[in-house]
Amino acid sequence: MKITFLGTHGQFNIGDELLLETFLSQLGPQHSYAVNSYDPAFTAGMLRPRFDVQAFHTTSELPRFLKNLLSSDLLFFGGGSIIKELYASVGRNRYSTLLMILASVTFTKLIARKKVFMSNIGVGPLLSPGGERLARLILNQVDFLSVRDQKSYRTCQQLKINPQKLRLVPDAVFANPPEVFVPAPKAPFNDGRLHLALNLNYDIENRAAWQGFLTGLRGCLEQLNAQTPITIHALPMQSKFKANDDLSILKEFSTQLAGIPVVLHDPQSAQAAGEIIAQCDLVLAERLHTLVISTILGKPFFGLVYDVKVQELVDYLGMSAHSLNINQPFEASTLLQGVQAVIKDREAIHQHLLTRGAELRKELEEYFSEIRARISGQ
């Protein structure tokens, strides 16, 4: 089959590229794929020769996009928070993503007359009646829909989406076993210091809380270092493509830390990020897929909850007690106590995450078997 596969690709976001690789691995190399990307050469090069892929530019190749929709057997949206209104901090029209997806789905259904699958997606936030109407128009046209968290599932129920086509499944990246990220494990850092992988993401839900968050984080790390010498491993999941990318934010933040060694990493793949996580003692992170990889590897983490999808993740991982909503004011001592609790219970958390990750991987094995059967029945 030929499948047009849509997502957020070519923005040099490790989590997005990992989702793409995961989905194509699960759907199988027997198909041919037309994949959207903001950097088609990068995306095609990343996936070949494992997959038969033609990449087209997300915004500047509209005729090619429409041609792919007409010639494909299926339109497949894979992962990501796609049915949502944009936060004001993004600087774009709140409905821009919803309108783009509505146009794509409507063309596919009414003109190309092909089926549309949305798999492991996030639905929300939908902050206005207009956003809810657009979401309902989109999702009512979709032939099969699975969402990756309880809040998305409840939102679809509130929108009165047909329950016969609606499924709740984990984030697709949980389908990967640990060896995907660390095929040849290296020895952990062992110099008597506590090695902490730190991931930051500027795009928090409440932008007004950002500076207060950094102040509290800095206070926490400096107090922790005074008690137990630490080394911070800056772990950006996006280091180019946009202003205030993770690497830029981490570089700036590192200059504010008094007397704490900081190693500025710049991983360009999920495997490179996985190696850093595996060598550290614990992870302190905002990004969803940093926390997902940590779970798969059994690496203890403390979650910095910056939006609803991360809150949902830590909830279904059973890690809510080891997280903090950074959109609300907090004291450095509160964050410090949370991080210290993870350090104290590292072994128990390690075993818990390995067990939970294996459970989710098994669930996704069954789910993707069903997806492959549905696709072969087209």
Question: Once rounded to an integer, what is the mean pLDDT over residues 286-310?
Answer: 96
- The DSSP string of 81-136 is EEESPPPGGG-S-TTHHHHHHHHHHHHIIIII--EEEEEEEEE----SHHHHHHHH
What integer pLDDT is reported at residue 21 of this predicted model?
96
**307 vs 290: CA distance, rounded Å:** 14
Per-residue pLDDT of 113-157, as tens digits, reads 999 999 999 998 899 999 999 999 999 999 999 999 899 999 999
Q: Among 41-50, 85-94, 249-258, which is the least confidently predicted range?
A: 85-94
Q: What is the pLDDT of residue 38?
A: 94
CATH topology of domain 179-358: Rossmann fold (3.40.50)
Two tokens at 57?
């530019």
Q: Write down the pLDDT at residue 252.
A: 97
Residue 190 has pLDDT above 90, yes or no: no
* Numbered ranges of CATH 3.40.50.2000 in the chain: 2-175+360-376, 179-358
Position 168 pLDDT exceeds 60: yes
Please give the average per-residue pLDDT across 196-224, as a whole number. 96
12 has a pLDDT exceeding 60? yes
Judged against a pLDDT cut of 70, whether residue 54 lies above it is answered with: yes
Average pLDDT over residues 327-342: 97
CATH number corresponding to 2-175+360-376: 3.40.50.2000
- Judge whether residue 91 has pLDDT over 70: no
Summarize the confidence of residues 12-26 as an average pLDDT: 95
Tell me the average pLDDT across 276-282: 97
pLDDT, residue 92, reads: 73
Between CA 239 and CA 246, with CA 245 as vertex, the angle to 5 degrees is 75
Q: What is the pLDDT of residue 355?
A: 98
Burial 86-118 (b: 16+ CB within 10 A, else e): bbeeeeeebbebbeebbebbebbbeebebbbbb
* Predicted local confidence at residue 270, as pLDDT: 96
Q: Which pLDDT value is given to residue 188? A: 87
Residue 86 pLDDT level (bands cut at 50, 70, 90): confident
Q: How far apart are CA 337 and CA 299, in angstroms?
A: 19
Residue 94 pLDDT > 90, yes or no?
A: no
**What pLDDT sits at residue 309?**
87
Cα–Cα distances in angstroms (integers) from residue 270 to residues 223, 236, 262, 265, 376, in the given order: 31, 11, 21, 13, 30
Nearest to 291 by CA among 248, 246, 323, 264: 323
pLDDT at 372: 95
> Could you tell me the CA-to-CA distances from 150 to 15, 86, 121, 216 in Å, in that order?
21, 20, 11, 30
- Span 156-172, average pLDDT: 96
Per the prediction, the chain carries an average pLDDT of 94
